[in-house]
Structure 1
Amino acid sequence: MEFGPLIKYYRTQKGITQKELAAGICSIPHLSKIENNSKDANEETISLLLERLEVSFEEMEEKEELIKSLLKDFGEKINFYLRDEIEIIFNRLKEIEHVIPFSAHMYSYELYKYRYLLFKGLLAEADTQRDILSKQKKNFSQQEMYLFRYYNAVSLILKGNHKKADEIFDELSAEINNEPTNGELLYHWALVKSALDQPGHAIHFGRLALQIFMNQHNFYRILHNLMLLGINYTNSKIYEEAQVCFNHLIRNAELLKEEKMLPQIYHNMGYLQDKMNNVKEALHYYEKSLSLQPVKNQHYLVTLYGIGEINYNLNLIENAKECFLQVKSLSKDIGIKKQGLLAEFYLIHMDSPEKAIKYLEMKVIPYLEGSKEHKEELIRYYKLLSEHYNQQGKYLEAVNYLSKIT
Structure 2
Amino acid sequence: MLEGKIIKFYREFQGLKQKDLGDGICSSTHISKIERGLTEVSGETIDFLCKRLGIEMEAEIENYREIEQLLKEWQDAIVKKLKPRVVSVKRQLEGFNLLHMQDFYRLYTLLLTRYYLFIGKGRMADGLIEEMSVWTDLTPYEKNLLLHVKGAYHLSVKNNYVEALACLKEINLEHYPNQEYYYDLALVYHSLNSRVLAFFHANKALQFFTKIRSFSRIIESEMLMVIQLEQSEDHPTLSQEYHRLIEMTEDYGLEHQKAMLYHNVAYLYLRNAEYRKAGQFYKKSMDAREKSHPNYLGSLEGYVNALTKEGKTSKEKLLSLVEQGLEQSRSSSASTFIHIFKMHYFYLSNQMDMYYAYLEEEAFPYFKEKGYMLLVEHYAVVLFDYYMEKNDMEKANRFATPVINKFRRNNQFV
Shorter-normalised TM-score: what interval? Answer: 0.7 to 0.9
SS at match of 1:95: coil
State the shift of 1:100 in Å: 5.1
Aligned to 1:84: 84
Matched, 1:193 2:194: no
Counterpart Cα distance in 2 of 1:125 and 1:322: 35
Query: How far apart are the structure 1 equivalents of 2:273 and 2:121?
Result: 41
Give the whole-Å Cα distance in 1 for the aligned partners of 2:308 and 2:301: 11
Superposed counterparts of 1:119-268, under 5 Å: 119-120=118-119, 123=122, 126-134=125-133, 136-138=135-137, 140-157=138-155, 158-173=157-172, 176=174, 182-234=178-230, 236-239=231-234, 242-243=238-239, 245-268=241-264
Counterpart-to-counterpart distance in 2, 1:91 and 1:67 = 12
- Give deviations 1:123-150, integer Å, cap 9, x for gaps: 5653443454455531x32222221222
Q: Counterpart in 2 of 1:351?
A: none
Aligned partners of 2:385 and 2:396 also within 8 Å: no
Aligned position for 2:59: 59
Deviation at residue 30 of structure 1 after TM alignment: 5.8
Task: Give the structure-2-normalised TM-score.
Answer: 0.75
Answer whether contact 1:67 1:93 (CA < 8 A) is retained: yes
> Is the alpha carbon distance of 1:380 and 1:58 closer, same or farther for their aligned partners in structure 2, counting shifts above 3 Å?
same
Q: Answer yes or no: is 1:363 the counterpart of 2:358.
A: yes
Cα deviation per residue 1:2-54 (whole Å; 9 max; x = unaligned)? Answer: 423533555684979455551xxxx4256333344263224635544456446
Q: Secondary structure at the match of 2:171?
A: helix
* Cα pair distance change 1:214/1:29, threshold 3 Å: closer
Residue 193 of structure 1: CA displacement?
A: 1.4
CA contact (8 A) 1:202 1:232 kept: yes
221-230 or 182-191, which deviates more:
221-230
Q: Which amino acid aligns with 2:144?
A: Y
Cα pair 1:382 1:405 within 8 Å, conserved: no
The residue type equivalent to 1:85 in the other structure is R
Q: Which residue does the alignment assign to 2:333?
A: none
The equivalent residue for 2:343 is 341
Q: How far apart, CA to CA, are the structure 2 residues paired with 1:397 and 1:34? A: 74
**Aligned residues of 2:282 and 2:300 also touching (Cα < 8 A):** no
Q: Residues 305 and 396 (structure 1 numbering): CA distance in 2 closer, same or farther, change over 3 Å?
A: same
List alignment gaps of at least 5 residues for structure 2: 331-337, 405-414
Q: Percent identity?
A: 19
RMSD: 3.8
Which residue of structure 2 aligns with residue 33 of structure 1? 32
Distance 1:244 1:347 in 2: 37
The 5 Å alignment of 1:375-394 reads 375-382=376-383, 384-385=385-386, 388-389=389-390
Q: Which residue of 2 aligns with 1:298?
A: 297
Deviation at 1:224, TM superposition (A): 3.0
Change (3 A) 1:233 1:97: farther
2:408 paired residue number? none
Please list the CA deviations of residues 341-361 of structure 1 after superposition, one character each: whole Å capped at 9, or x if unmatched: 24543553xxxxxx84x4554
Quickly say closer, same or farther: Cα 1:386–1:44, change in 2 above 3 A: same
The alpha-carbon deviation at position 185 of structure 1 amounts to 0.7
| Partner Cα distance (2:123, 2:290) in 1 | 26
What CA distance in whole angstroms lies between the structure 1 residues aligned with 2:11 and 2:326? 61
- Asked whether the equivalents of residues 269 and 282 of structure 1 are also in contact (C-alpha less than 8 Å), the reply is yes
Q: CA 1:121–1:31 in structure 2 vs 1: closer, same or farther (change >3 Å)?
A: farther
CA contact (8 A) 2:319 2:348 kept: no
Matches of 2:159 and 2:85 in 1, distance apart? 28
1:305 CA drift (Å)? 2.3
Does structure 1 conserve the Cα–Cα contact (< 8 Å) formed by 2:21 and 2:49? no
Distance 1:46 1:200, change over 3 A: farther
Q: CA offsets per residue over residues 319-377 of structure 1, 9 Å max, x none? A: 474664444444554453424424543553xxxxxx84x45543334344222232243
Q: CA deviation at 1:78?
A: 0.9
Matched residues in 2 for 1:46 and 1:39: separation?
Answer: 15
Residues 272-301 of structure 1 show CA distances to partners (whole Å, capped at 9, x for unaligned) of 123235556445534544665778962453
Q: Distance in 1 between matches of 2:106 and 2:287?
A: 46
Q: Greater RCO between the two (CA within 8 Å, min separation 6)?
A: 2
Aligned mates of 2:60, 2:10 — CA distance in 1: 12
Distance 1:309 1:59, change over 3 A: same
CA distance in 1, matches of 2:24, 2:106: 30
SS at match of 2:69: helix
Given residue 377 of structure 1, which amino acid in structure 2 is its aligned partner?
H
* Larger-Rg structure: 1
Q: How does 1:98-109 map to 2 (within 5 A)?
A: 98=98, 101=101, 104-109=103-108
Q: Deviations over 1:137-183 (max 9, x none)?
A: 31x3222222122222222222222212211222224x749xx8634
Determine helix, strand or coil for the equivalent of 1:137: coil
SS of residue matched to 2:343: helix
Q: Which amino acid aligns with 2:379?
A: L
Deviation at 1:209, TM superposition (A): 0.6
